[in-house]
Structure 1
Amino acid sequence: MSAKPKPPTALPSQGDLRGVLAYNVRLLRVQKEWSQEDLAMECDLDRTYVSAVERSRWNISLSNIERLALALDTEPWRLLHPPPTP
């Protein structure tokens, strides 16, 4: 059994859209207590792709943002909305 997923620790820069997406995807995935593999299976994406998205390594298509949002039970635009700053 794998370790329990941990939420992101640092807020992304407001101007870093890939970072915002990565933060939101990981946060929502952890709230569902899913592994990256679980999310990938729900979206019909590769686990390494989900990992790369969560690390801000790849640009992601709108279609795949939509797939992630559907699996995470959220609106696609919410994945691109910066989290509130403390």
Structure 2
Amino acid sequence: MKTLGKKIRLLRHQRGWSQEDVAKRLDISIPAFSKIETGITDINLSRLEQISILFDMTVVQLLTFNDAEQEQKYSNELDSVSKRLSDRDTEVIDLQKKVIELYEELRLNKVTA
């Protein structure tokens, strides 16, 4: 249920509403709504329907809201991080080659000196 609370919080933020705004619209206390968002309180079906209507969604839309987006976002982030890691690996290998070259140059200079 914590992910549902996060979805509700995200929807609330997208609309620029405070917890107080939503609590008033649902006719519940601010602490009660806060517990819904944090996942402390499980949401019954009638409350779920009330929340979905408030956000102009069906219950199914509310329950699945942002799931595909999140998966795509995480996939994109993973691709980006993998690319950066690959770039760093290449940099490390290049630096290792330079260190070896410099070591060999120093070693040869010592031998000839």
Give me the TM-score of the superposition, normalised by structure 2: 0.56
Q: Deviations over 1:10-60 (max 9, x none)?
A: xxxxxxxx0221111001100110001101111112211110011010111
Q: Which has the larger radius of gyration?
A: 2
4+ runs deviating over 2 angstroms = none
Cα root mean square deviation, aligned: 1.4
Partner of 1:20: 3
Do 1:20 and 1:80's aligned partners in 2 also have CA atoms closer than 8 Å? no
Question: For structure 1, which runs of at least 5 residues remain unmatched after alignment?
Answer: 1-17
- Count of residue pairs brought into register by the alignment: 69
Which of 1 and 2 has higher RCO (CA within 8 Å, sep 6+)? 1
Residue 46 (structure 2) pairs with residue 54 (structure 1): no
Larger fraction in helix? 2
Do 1:22 and 1:56's aligned partners in 2 also have CA atoms closer than 8 Å? yes
Question: For structure 2, which runs of at least 5 residues remain unmatched after alignment?
Answer: 75-113
CA distance in 1, matches of 2:31, 2:57: 22
Give me the TM-score of the superposition, normalised by structure 1: 0.72
